[in-house]
Structure 1
């Protein structure tokens, strides 16, 4: 199980502490010895963090955990998820949930900005001084990414994260795993950008799965994408190394029968075709924007028998030809950020 640095266990209780709640009692209720927070080597597991967040919710009657002027009533997250589940796509589900939260409270304003290849979610706190460590704003951004992953049934790529404050050197080692993408600090906004292609997928969750997820909430929302152990992720990593690998090769490498592989992926709401297309799309856009390789060479590396097939697929993914994409996004057309 993924673990979390003691820093986050400490700062997540700040809102409750300011409200006069006995934080040591909250920690013990979550199965955490208060002394552990003073041990520089201690890390707690994700389950313990979820229990602590639930303890804070119950103690304050506030899902905003004391970081805003007004409480967000218990049950708001469950209702937002129900609203999102009704969306025809993951992106639409997120927009529905965002509208709900913006109507329910003016303390946090959340906005979705859509473009061709990404959907950015930006947050603005009415009274940011109530969250001096920025714990809750980071948590809030992460929740939107995790909700997108849950609705999609797979890890949705986070393309960029922007923060209107300096790099948090004190906890950056942990921070970079929570935001596994290029990061910009001292920016004009506080936002994450996700892969719009993945968000156009239909919502792959049922009401029964929602009920199961809510029983342990917010545990499912706290899993770190890099710790994803699903078969879909294993296949994605394998194809990222060799996009031309066929279904039989993937199945053999995983010691599955091809039918078993297809069935297991289907149970996760995915398929080999979908994963392969996503991998090819991502590799193609990176190669076109970041290298001088020819379209023919890129097509061959991705397993296309001829460039025309690759061009047709690329147009379906992006709405433009490979040459037009390179002209618009290639090296020299923008700043490439390092992770």
Structure 2
């Protein structure tokens, strides 16, 4: 079973209350038993636990009879800017591919309570979503919210319609999602396992409309800090990170990590998912952060590649671009510019003289 003690932005709860009130449900009915103070809903920096938000959803769903489409209303109101630094990190990413990687690395900062992972198959991106740990009485509503938020925000973020080729909907929820899927002309079938959305990935290396690689790095750092503060980077993920730091060439297999932690690979994956991350995400964060720190000290790309166990600068540069969306050389130059002290204006005049 998943633990719901990690924290989330109160913005999601505020939207849920807005939707409920538009259907005639009072604030006190929404918040009953949640321990969420009404004042928190208008406090931008406030947070609630995942358990509190789930109880809020349960109150609304129970009181209103869980009508189909209610979760879609909540999802449509959840704009990318509602997600704070996460949304800014995604929007400023250099390419659609790097934006997707950021979104998956910090998936737990979105609306979803589910586990998610993705793989590339030729020119397709396969996005898996497993909501089996989500309480059954709110699973349908939350599924509607997640799908609606994803599809309606896609065009805002990427500047194009969501290129979903087909979907496989598990848990018997396809009929509930069908109006939304048909609106976006997405073919779908029922599935026994986790949900699956298959995207056309042929345009994934296209530049983002509001690309700003260094800005994206800044906001991604904020996302990492937010995960840490909200309790999503302690426990097992911290132990995995420590093991990764002892093998900087990135060749430490998941099976070896699980064995070192005295658990099965399946158990390790499940527990990491409960903490809102995955082995792959931890690799990207750990190696990416270390590479940034080394480059910021003034070491050359070749030196950093050697220290991190790569065979040469080209292979390291390829990995760094996958982690951060820009070349290590460009990152190093920007870091040098940020750390260079400004020349006083009087000195400028003396030089000109």
Shorter-chain TM-score: which interval?
0.3 to 0.5
TM-score when scaled to structure 2?
0.41
Q: Which has the higher contact order (CA 8 A, sep 6+)?
A: 2
Structure 1 length normalisation: TM-score? 0.42
